[in-house]
Structure 1
Amino acid sequence: MKLATIVMDGRRVGVFEYAPGKLVSLSALDLGCDSVRHFIELGDEALAAAQNYETERDEDLINAGNAEWAAVIPDPTKILCIALNNSAADSQLTYRPDFPVYFPKLPSALTGHLQAVDLYPHYGLVHPEPEVAVIIGKQARNVSIDEAMEHVFGYTIFNDITSVGMRKEDRFVAEYPIPDGKGGFTPTTEHVVYQGRYKSADGFAPMGPYIVHKKDVPDPMKLRVRCWLDDDVLMDDNTSAYHFSIPEVICWISQHATLQPGDVIPLGTALHPDEHRRPISYGNLNKFGDKVTIEIETLGRLESPIRRVDALDPRTSFASAK
């Protein structure tokens, strides 16, 4: 079972794969829904309707090769990304928490397969981050590790595009007063970085083209992940390199935030480099390359054209007044 969202007559429409290369609108199932998120909320009833659907009318079929793709779920309540969840990052870390650290990414950053990503000069160094993303199937709050997989609907491809340039800029260094237990406070130096720009600019979350149902992905922790910039291989990795498993991630997040059907959890970046041993930052999308391609075993290929836009840094209009 594969689901997607496409644009028809200027409107986003949820579809399922009826046959290889052939799509059918979810509205044809007579379930009163035409969005992927609503389909997921309906649960087993919707799955059964799609699996048992039959048509002999060619006009019901949409050619996937001609589709205009949107993000598979354009309206999740949350996108929560797992940070540095890869053994390849260990050599760069002097400390790692013993639990999954996650951060939010704005849904407005979402875009679809084959949709251009606009980059501006003041974004600085920008690189792709190829990831497997979990799609939540039913509400999860305070779930155990043993229960966690019951809350998974399926998986998709996610590109957690990141601006290193903006990350360096959006940081504060402060002496933060911490209670010393004796009625006073001890100043502690803290380095704080906020993800607003460098993770969530428009187009920084290509996702899709399909969600693949979990029954069609026998072991999501053993999937090959590859990433190209044009024809140049940047990353060749495997989800077996993840530190934290999917059940651990869902269990941990659900202790703090209620997960809803259609929520997206990218599991972490493929970091093992190509044969040239180049780091992921080598693939600076703001300098070269016309297209990023991510291929994940069983899930397919996600392609994102890169469009560099010549524009003035907006800070020039207000920085002098501060």
Structure 2
Amino acid sequence: MKLISYRAQSSTHLGVVIEEDKVLSLSSLHDLYKDCISQEFTIPNDMKQFIEQNETALPYAEALIDCYLNDQEVKDLPSCFLSDVEIIAPIAQPEKIICVGLNYMDHCKETNMEPPSSPVIFSKYANAIIGDKAAIELPINSNQVDFEAELTIVIGKEAKCISEEEAEDYIFGYTIMNDVSARDLQFADTQWSRGKSADTFAPMGPVIVTKDEVGDPHQLDISLRLNDEIMQQSNTNQLIFRIPTIISFLSQSMTLKPGDVIATGTPPGVGMGRDPKVWLKDGDFLSITIENIGTLSNHVKKHHLTKYNEHSLLTSK
């Protein structure tokens, strides 16, 4: 199942993508077919709440979709084209945005860093999250903004001190994240938070695909295009630390919660690893495609100072 969060007619909806270009509102399906299903359940409009109840929510949503697909008399089709709605980030406020650094061998080489002996972990914050088609803003204090295509895990239930063998049971699904990074800020500090967590630096989506539909997450082609040029192209079979290892490793220290997202690292081809280096600029267009999930697209724009911003800068000098 491909789940999506979107806005239409000033309201936020939770939907399921069908036929690649159409979305069905789950709440509309509920209104149409709730009397046809013995199970009683109310579809939330928030993805995080849906994931928190996924053991009930997923079977119920599947039953609604089956009713819709088998209904030969339905008049008011609760579907619309994706091009007619505003796709927003699938999860706007996860409790945790966890990222794994240096998790492809060739990426370690291009950054002149030794392959790690255990997962390198850092965090982003919810202010960085934007959805498909939204703009990545270049911050005023950085001239070296880079891109990173990443397969991202969505946690489905609370996980604490779990083994690698148990990890699969705690995965809800997968999405795409662009781990946008201000390299000059990242390496000026002794840790990476500032360079990784500027506003708009975590484009995510456009969908969450449930794990049953993704298949083997370690056999997915992953690529990133900058304008018309392929910059990153690899396969998740090149991950140094595989997904069960990452989840188990994290759960030894922190309790993972439903809706938490874990970006698994980026393959080679990032801007800082090129000669000459490639930094994002106003007007650029980025698209990340991961097999069995879809394509996340964002444009880049320069941050424009407001009068308040200008006053703040002047008074701080």
Contact in 2 for aligned 1:148/1:247 (Cα 8 Å): yes
- Counterpart code for 2:84: N
1:94 positional shift: 5.2
Residue from 142, 152, 156 that aligns with 1:133: 152
Contact in 2 for aligned 1:224/1:239 (Cα 8 Å): yes
Q: Residues of 2 paired with 1:151 and 1:20: CA distance?
A: 27
Name whichever structure is richer in helix by fraction.
2
1:123-182 alpha-carbon deviations (Å, 9 max, x no partner): 21101100000011111000001000100011111100000122243x2xxxxxxxxxxx
Q: Residues of 1 paired with 2:291 and 2:178: CA distance?
A: 15
Instruction: Give the secondary-structure state (helix, strand or coil) at the position aligned to 1:99.
Output: coil
Q: Residues of 1 paired with 2:275 and 2:196: CA distance?
A: 15
Q: Report matched runs for 1:275-290 at 5 Å.
A: 279=274, 282-286=277-281, 289-290=283-284
1:235 positional shift: 0.9
- Counterpart code for 1:145: E
Query: Alignment length, in residue pairs?
Result: 295
Instruction: Give the secondary-structure state (helix, strand or coil) at the position aligned to 1:209.
Output: strand
1:248 positional shift: 0.2
- Name the TM-score, length of structure 2 as normaliser: 0.85
CA 1:280–1:74: 2 relative to 1, 3 Å: farther
Contact in 1 for aligned 2:146/2:270 (Cα 8 Å): no
Who is 2:17 aligned against? 17
1:52-78 alpha-carbon deviations (Å, 9 max, x no partner): 213324341122121201111112111
Who is 2:177 aligned against? 158
1:293 positional shift: 0.7
Contact in 1 for aligned 2:147/2:270 (Cα 8 Å): no
Residue from 251, 266, 285 that aligns with 2:248: 251
CA 1:318–1:303: 2 relative to 1, 3 Å: same
Contact in 2 for aligned 1:3/1:16 (Cα 8 Å): yes
Q: Give ranges in structure 1 of 5+ residues lacking alignment.
A: 172-191
1:272 positional shift: 4.8
Q: Residues of 2 paired with 1:314 and 1:167: CA distance?
A: 26
CA 1:41–1:232: 2 relative to 1, 3 Å: same
1:313 positional shift: 7.9
CA 1:315–1:238: 2 relative to 1, 3 Å: farther
Contact in 1 for aligned 2:103/2:119 (Cα 8 Å): yes
Instruction: Give the secondary-structure state (helix, strand or coil) at the position aligned to 2:205.
Output: coil
Residue from 115, 118, 137 that aligns with 2:137: 118
Residue 39 in structure 1 maps to residue 50 in structure 2:
yes
Residue from 233, 237, 241 that aligns with 2:234: 237
CA 1:103–1:127: 2 relative to 1, 3 Å: same
Instruction: Give the secondary-structure state (helix, strand or coil) at the position aligned to 1:147.
Output: helix
Q: Residues of 2 paired with 1:266 and 1:113: CA distance?
A: 17
Q: Give ranges in structure 2 of 5+ residues lacking alignment.
A: 31-40, 69-73
- Name the TM-score, length of structure 1 as normaliser: 0.84
Who is 1:63 aligned against? 81
1:318 positional shift: 5.2
**What percentage of residue pairs aligned between the two structures are identical?**
32
**Pairwise CA RMSD of aligned residues?**
2.4
Contact in 2 for aligned 1:237/1:272 (Cα 8 Å): no
